[in-house]
């Protein structure tokens, strides 16, 4: 009896702390989702087609017809535009995150995870981390396409990388909004619609595609305090893509866009991660 007890004690794994277990479980779920993405490559391919279309259409259809900083130069608008396209791309990944989680709920996969001794929040964290990797890959491809059509940066590599970090932080924060939507609706189709319907006004009532100073006064104030606009403005400054003669508004987020971008992203991340994890626990209780 003593021998058997000793063997069991030796074979039993050491208990892990809550944080360590949550990190490990999140990485396992993230790996599972990344493997799934590689086995369904059309998910990645179709996710890249839309932003590439936006780059080409806005560059060649609207370039030269939209005035920025007092200039209608196609090159000036091309460089002005790209930060907005990058930001739109990372936020539109919200719909994919919501649809993926809704699909897992619909198929009962979440119930299988519940039967395992794993941290509750790890399922959502793993999913959002996998989406972050896909978003980063999409940004790389999109940047290459932008360079092909004439986009250029005029700052050092450190500032450029910081700009992309801000984009990924914004995208990761928004993926938690998608997670909450995916847990709230009943079908993946509803999650996709719910993830996109509010993104269009968010991205278009901003400084992404036009100079917010040219908007009506009430829309201009909305655009200036839009979290999306802060990241776009920060990237334009970090990429050196502000057109000659461009004057930012006096609104605080436009005067301190890098700090505003970080603050907005962290607030969105903390609030919606808390709500999503709470919703997950109540939905699977």
Kind plus residue range of the DSSP H or E element containing 76: helix 74-107
Nearest to 126 by CA among 14, 262, 15, 276: 276
What b/e sequence results for 122-159 when a residue is b if at least 16 CB atoms lie within 10 Å of its CB, and e otherwise? Answer: bbbbbbbbbbbebbeebbebbbebbeebebebeeeeeb
Coil, strand or helix at 77: helix
- What is the tens place of the pLDDT at every residue in 20-58? 788 888 888 888 888 887 887 777 777 778 788 888 887
Q: Nearest 10 degrees: CA dihedral of 16, 20, 23, 27?
A: -50
* Binned average pLDDT, 10 residues per bin, the chain of 285 residues: 44 52 85 82 77 81 67 76 91 83 76 72 87 91 90 92 96 93 84 83 90 87 94 94 81 94 96 91 65
pLDDT score for 136 = 93
Q: Which burial class, exposed, middle or buried, applies to 232 when counting CB atoms under 10 A from its CB (0-12, 13-18, 19+)?
A: buried
pLDDT score for 11 = 41
pLDDT score for 13 = 42
pTM to 2 decimal places: 0.85
């Amino acid at each position: 009896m003593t021998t058997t007890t000793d063997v069991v004690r030796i074979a039993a794994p050491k208990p892990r702390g809550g944080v360590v277990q949550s990190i490990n479980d999140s990485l396992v779920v993230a790996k599972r989702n990344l493997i799934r993405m590689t086995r369904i490559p059309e998910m990645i391919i179709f996710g890249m087609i839309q932003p590439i279309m936006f780059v080409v259409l806005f560059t060649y259809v609207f370039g030269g017809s939209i005035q920025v900083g007092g200039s209608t130069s196609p090159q000036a608008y091309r460089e002005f535009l790209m930060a907005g396209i990058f930001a739109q791309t990372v936020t539109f990944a919200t719909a994919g995150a919501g649809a993926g989680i809704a699909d897992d709920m619909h198929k009962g996969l979440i119930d299988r995870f519940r039967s395992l001794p794993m941290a509750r929040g790890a399922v959502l964290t793993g999913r959002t981390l996998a989406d972050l990797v896909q978003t980063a890959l999409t940004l790389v491809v999109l940047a290459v396409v932008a360079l092909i059509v004439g986009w250029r940066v005029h700052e050092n590599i450190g500032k450029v990388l910081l700009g992309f970090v801000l984009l990924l932080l914004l995208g990761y924060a928004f993926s938690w909004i998608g997670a909450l939507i995916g847990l709230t609706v009943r079908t993946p189709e509803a999650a996709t619609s719910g993830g996109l319907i509010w993104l269009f006004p968010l991205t278009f009532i901003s400084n992404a595609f036009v100079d917010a100073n040219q908007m009506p006064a009430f829309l201009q104030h909305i655009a200036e305090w839009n979290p999306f606009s802060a990241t776009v403005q920060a990237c334009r400054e970090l990429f050196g893509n502000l057109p000659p003669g461009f004057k930012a508004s006096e609104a605080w987020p436009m005067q301190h866009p890098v700090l505003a971008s970080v603050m907005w992203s962290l607030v969105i991340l903390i609030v919606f991660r808390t709500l999503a994890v709470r919703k997950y626990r109540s939905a699977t209780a």
